[in-house]
Amino acid sequence: MKIHVLHCGSIRVSETVPFGGKIDLRSSGRQLLTPAEKRITLPVCVYLVEHPKGLLLVDTGWCREISPDGVYDEKAVKRVLPGYLAAFYRPSLPAGMAVHEQLADMGVRPEDLEYVILSHLDPDHTAGLRHVCRARRILLPEDEYFWSCRAVYKVRQPQKLWIEYPMERRFYRGSPLGPNHWVIDLFGDGSVQLVNVPGHTDGQAATLLRGRDRFVILAADAAFSPRNWQEGITPGFGFDRWRQQKSLIWLREMAEDPRCAAILCSHDPAVRPQTIEI
């Protein structure tokens, strides 16, 4: 299996997002008001996986419409996101970095993708769905879809970015694996397992890819950097801190497994575009 790490744009956020700990209304407000010069720039990772059963894309990054000229464009962002999310993320997407642009460079058409897997429904993971919606299947954990009706997710996850696309929704099933013991085994052979890592959202999935004798975990936003699980620092933008901690403990255990080739977080600046083979 080959895992290609792509950077599909960036976010410019308060540093309380990766390492903020407790979130309440006041701290959410502070994140929106943090001036641009005090923010940090984090990548938005998307993964193309060459699996024996087909090409898998995990998450989709930002869409070209937020950055028509490849630079930060507040007006364009506000055409895609409501004002408070535009202020929270301050996203940009350099020319050639949108998911379909990078796939085209690699000779991959959206219809060549066996699956687009959405780890969760936050807009930095779903905005690019419009560019790859001709994939054979779009997969979302049922639990992520189900809880999107909650008020907290309605404000976080603009439905217009994903609701109209036909999705295959699968329930997690009981498993010894994961902090919540819930897993979707994509092909039924253990090679691609979506592991429920709740806390950031209820239904969020990390993707565990198992090669012959090594594995890689695409941790989505369960952590923003290895520092989160190494030092037990909860990221600051979640709905349930206790569940976030449980997910971090699981990631720490998996990181200590000698078969672990890498655990990649969606917004870790240390995760450069690269190809990992397992």
In the complex with Zn ion, the residue whose CB is nearer, 178 or 235, is: 235
In the shown chain, the binding pattern of residues 155 to 194 toward Zn ion, with x for contact by CB under 5 A and - for none, equals: ----------------------------------------
Taking the complex as a whole, how short is the minimal distance between the CB of residue 120 and Zn ion, in angstroms? 8
Sheet hosting strand 182-185, strand order edge to edge = 173-174, 182-185, 192-196, 205-210, 215-218, 260-264
Taking the complex as a whole, how short is the minimal distance between the CB of residue 129 and Zn ion, in angstroms? 14
Taking the complex as a whole, how short is the minimal distance between the CB of residue 221 and Zn ion, in angstroms? 4
Within positions 108 to 127, which residues make up the interface with Zn ion, using CB under 5 A? 124
In the complex with Zn ion, the residue whose CB is nearer, 185 or 221, is: 221
Taking the complex as a whole, how short is the minimal distance between the CB of residue 42 and Zn ion, in angstroms? 9
Nearest residue to 249 via CA among 269, 270, 219: 219
Taking the complex as a whole, how short is the minimal distance between the CB of residue 220 and Zn ion, in angstroms? 7
In the shown chain, the binding pattern of residues 14 to 53 toward Zn ion, with x for contact by CB under 5 A and - for none, equals: ----------------------------------------
Does 268 bind Zn ion (CB under 5 A)? Our answer is: no
Question: What is the 3-class SS of the chain, one letter each residue?
Answer: CEEEEEEEEEEEECCHHHHCCCCCHHHHHHHHHCCHHHCEEEEEEEEEEEECCEEEEECCCCCHHHCCCCCCCHHHHHHHCCHHHHHHHCCECCCCCCHHHHHHHCCCCHHHEEEEECCCCCHHHHHHHHHCCCCCCEEEEHHHHHHCCCHHHHHHCCHHHCCCCCCEEECCEECCCCCCCEEEECCCCCCEEEEECCCCCCCCEEEEEECCCCEEEECCCCCCCHHHHHHCCCCCCCCCHHHHHHHHHHHHHHHCCCCEEEEECCCCCCCCCEEEEC
Please identify, among the stretches 102-110, 153-161, 167-175, 221-229, the one whose residues bind Zn ion according to the rule CB under 5 A: 221-229
The CA distance from 224 to 161, in Å, is 23
In the complex with Zn ion, the residue whose CB is nearer, 143 or 221, is: 221
The CA distance from 207 to 239, in Å, is 21
Please identify, among the stretches 12-20, 87-95, 102-110, 259-267, the one whose residues bind Zn ion according to the rule CB under 5 A: 259-267
How many residues bind to Zn ion according to rule CB under 5 A? Answer: 3
Please identify, among the stretches 26-34, 223-231, 249-257, 266-274, the one whose residues bind Zn ion according to the rule CB under 5 A: 266-274
Among 144, 202, 221, 268, binds Zn ion (CB under 5 A): 221
Taking the complex as a whole, how short is the minimal distance between the CB of residue 277 and Zn ion, in angstroms? 25
Taking the complex as a whole, how short is the minimal distance between the CB of residue 172 and Zn ion, in angstroms? 20
In the complex with Zn ion, the residue whose CB is nearer, 10 or 266, is: 266
Note the residues at the interface with Zn ion (CB under 5 A): 124, 221, 266
